[in-house]
Amino acid sequence: MFRLFGRLAVVAVAAVVLLAALPSAPRELPPPGEGLKTPVRGVIHVHTNRSDGTAPVDDVLRAAGRAGLQFVIVTDHGDATRAPDLPDYRNGVLYIDGAEISTRNGHIVALGLSKAPYPLAGEARDVVEDIHRLGGIAIAAHPGSPKPELRWTDWDTPLDGLEWLNADSEWRDEQAWTLARALVTYPFRPPQALALLLDRPEPILRQWDALTQQHRVSAVAASDAHARIGVRSFGEPYDSAGSRHFPSYTNSFREFSIALSDTTLTGTADTDARRVIDAIRGGHVYSTIDALGGPAALRFVASSGSRTVSMGDGLPVAGPIHLHVDAQAPNDATITLFRDGASVATARGSRLDHDAPEAPGAYRVEIGLPGAPGMPPVPWVLGNPLYIGRNVDNPINPPHVAPRNFMTLYDNGPLRGWRIEKSAASDAAMDMIGALGGTQLLLRFAISGTEADSPYVGFVMPATAAIAMYERLVFTARADRPMRLSVQLRSSGGEGERWRRSVYIDSMPRTVDVAFNDFRPVDSTSTPRPELAKIDSILFVVDTINNKLGSNGQIQVDDIRYAR
Ligand SMILES: [Zn+2]
Ligand SMILES: [Zn+2]
């Protein structure tokens, strides 16, 4: 008898604990008000079984359809040398194929680019430059990852976007009890249980608010869905001990999504993929935590003088500024308007109006719901800025200042002191060839096809002491195909410390102009900038960072000069 009571009591206590732990059901939203329409929604940053996800593309798209989404942006790990799949409607969901590229400074989600002619890798600034050259956009992935090797470390690179929220990073920094609560309640309210792991990521938002004072940077919430979790290490998708299909793609896709504010889809995959990517590039996108309530419609417009623009756009200041927000939000929602990261107005419910004097800034909106998870609570809706009196263009090509003083190192004639350095199984040759008005250097290379060889070829030119009086290295170059060449400075003595700057060259002859200050150490032990007084060699290196094993080719170089 007592034993039975005892068991019942345990069950009752368990039920009470579960009920208390159960996250709230999603909020019912009022119908969209005037001028609001249900947005086009989808997810960005999804892995399939082509990389470390668990399902083929078609299954992932089916899961998105079940979650009520219109598009999925798949970003399997890669170096962009695989031709992306063409945009396609499958099971009624638009499939967009992108890539997640590993760089020395973190992962980049690349969208809308054509097949790369060589592996994209190395420093983030070079990969972003290549993504832009190939017509794509670059989004910093999981910039706030608690894992240092996954964290973004280069905020000077001209990014088009960043992930303000990344589901894969979010759970990593949670307390054990929050994780336990999410696991226990997942079978009952899966998307809501997953949302328990979200927070308002303050450092990333601060970083973003700083970037948007320079140019447009679009923030998106990224699923980073793999639909797997490690068995032994709890959560490592790469756990060798095996993994479980948890959380499912469908439940991840029901947790949160990105919504396009001014975009309609036509049903033609090509056109629509372009529209989705353009909307992200243009900041016409906001994020909603659908597990808390959704899908939510948002409109954010501003006017000054006779012009009115919406979220993502730039607006010149031409008199007092009026900002207006309409949201499909319940009465107890709080709309907060930020200017350059500082809160300037709040309102309860579904509307906010704010008159500002002629104060330029990046203005953006967050909407909070009472009871949202996280410390501090994750915003339910997060919009992109309106850039008022601010530059929106990404400075892909920073202004170039032509040097005035030169010292020529090579123009014509014999190669005094030049030599070749290479890995054992690689080949290289240097020749002078006739060119208009003199000679040119012809550098031929064949890097070995064996990984164990650590293949590389280096053409080494002696540096003169005068280097310390200059700021840049300038030369003309062309190659027989698109490639990256690593220009390096090496110091005298010992092993010789090296600093490098990777440059793009192809069959169009071009002037390459690299500032010594932009060189970065090859080894992490080096000083962050080259010590010019100690430099005794300048190297033109072909290695396997951006060249496939076993590749060969030739480069013509001329007019090598110091400049300032
Ligand atoms: Zn990643
Ligand atoms: Zn990823």
DSSP state of 124: H
Q: Is 459 helix (H, G, I), strand (E, B) or coil?
A: strand
* Structural tokens at position 37: 């329409």
The β-bridge relationship of strands 456-462 and 419-422 is: antiparallel
Burial of 89 (0-12, 13-18, 19+ CB in 10 A): middle
Distance from residue 76's CA to the centre of ligand 2 (Å): 7
Cis status of the peptide bond prior to 330, with omega within 30 of 0: no
CB contact at 8 A, 132 and 106 = no
The model scores a pTM over 0.75: yes
Which pLDDT tens digit goes with each residue over 128-175?
999 999 999 999 999 988 888 889 999 999 999 999 999 888 777 677
Distance from residue 121's CA to the centre of ligand 1 (Å): 14
Between 10 and 346, the more confident residue is 346
Residue % of the chain over a pLDDT of 90: 76
User: For position 10, what pLDDT does the model report?
Assistant: 79
398 pLDDT band, cuts 50/70/90, is low
384 pLDDT band, cuts 50/70/90, is very high
14 pLDDT band, cuts 50/70/90, is confident
Which pLDDT tens digit goes with each residue over 34-89?
889 899 999 999 999 999 898 999 999 999 999 999 999 999 999 999 999 999 99
Cis status of the peptide bond prior to 247, with omega within 30 of 0: yes
* Structural tokens at position 120: 């994209």
Distance from residue 171's CA to the centre of ligand 1 (Å): 14
Distance from residue 100's CA to the centre of ligand 1 (Å): 7
Distance from residue 119's CA to the centre of ligand 2 (Å): 18
Between 234 and 310, the more confident residue is 310
Which pLDDT tens digit goes with each residue over 249-260?
999 999 999 999
242 pLDDT band, cuts 50/70/90, is very low
Q: Is the pLDDT of residue 508 over 60?
A: yes
User: For position 279, what pLDDT does the model report?
Assistant: 98
* Structural tokens at position 363: 């203005």
Of the listed ligands, the closest to the CA of 226 is: 2
Of the listed ligands, the closest to the CA of 99 is: 2
Contacts for 111 with CB less than 8 Å, ≥ 6 apart:
73, 75, 96, 98, 136, 137, 139, 277, 280
Cis status of the peptide bond prior to 119, with omega within 30 of 0: no
CB contact at 8 A, 557 and 477 = yes
**Alpha carbons 43 and 56: distance in angstroms, whole number:** 16
CB contact at 8 A, 64 and 249 = yes
CB contact at 8 A, 257 and 69 = yes
Contacts for 250 with CB less than 8 Å, ≥ 6 apart:
63, 64, 66, 67
**Alpha carbons 300 and 262: distance in angstroms, whole number:** 11
The position carrying tokens 């219109």 is 70
Instruction: Please state, rounded to an integer, the average pLDDT across all residues of the chain.
Output: 91
Distance from residue 290's CA to the centre of ligand 2 (Å): 21
Distance from residue 291's CA to the centre of ligand 2 (Å): 21
Residue 211's identity, in one-letter code, is L
Nearest of 487, 30, 89, 17 to residue 297 by alpha carbon: 30
Distance from residue 152's CA to the centre of ligand 2 (Å): 13
Buried b (16+ CB within 10 A) or exposed e, 33-71: eeebeebbbbbbbbbbbeeebbbebebbbbbbbbbebbb
Which residues have a beta carbon within 5 Å of ligand 1, which is an ion? 107, 141
- At 289, phi and psi to the nearest 5? -85, 90
**Alpha carbons 529 and 12: distance in angstroms, whole number:** 66
Note the helical H segments in 212-310. 249-255, 269-281
- The 10 Å Cβ neighbour count of residue 486 is 22
Distance from residue 303's CA to the centre of ligand 2 (Å): 38
Nearest of 75, 84, 86 to residue 109 by alpha carbon: 75
Average pLDDT over residues 180-186: 90
The position carrying tokens 């027989």 is 480
- The 10 Å Cβ neighbour count of residue 283 is 29
Of the listed ligands, the closest to the CA of 74 is: 2
Q: Is the pLDDT of residue 526 over 50?
A: yes
Give strand ranges (E) for 178-297: 218-222, 229-230, 243-244, 257-260, 285-288
**Helix 2-21 with 176-185: angle, nearest 10 deg:** 100
CB contact at 8 A, 225 and 46 = yes
**Alpha carbons 146 and 142: distance in angstroms, whole number:** 9
**Alpha carbons 293 and 372: distance in angstroms, whole number:** 10
- The 10 Å Cβ neighbour count of residue 90 is 16
- At 267, phi and psi to the nearest 5? 100, -10
Distance from residue 53's CA to the centre of ligand 2 (Å): 9
- Distance linking the first and last C-alpha atoms of the chain: 93
Sheet harboring 307-310: ordered strands across? 307-310, 298-304, 321-327, 351-356
CB contact at 8 A, 186 and 175 = no
Of the listed ligands, the closest to the CA of 102 is: 1
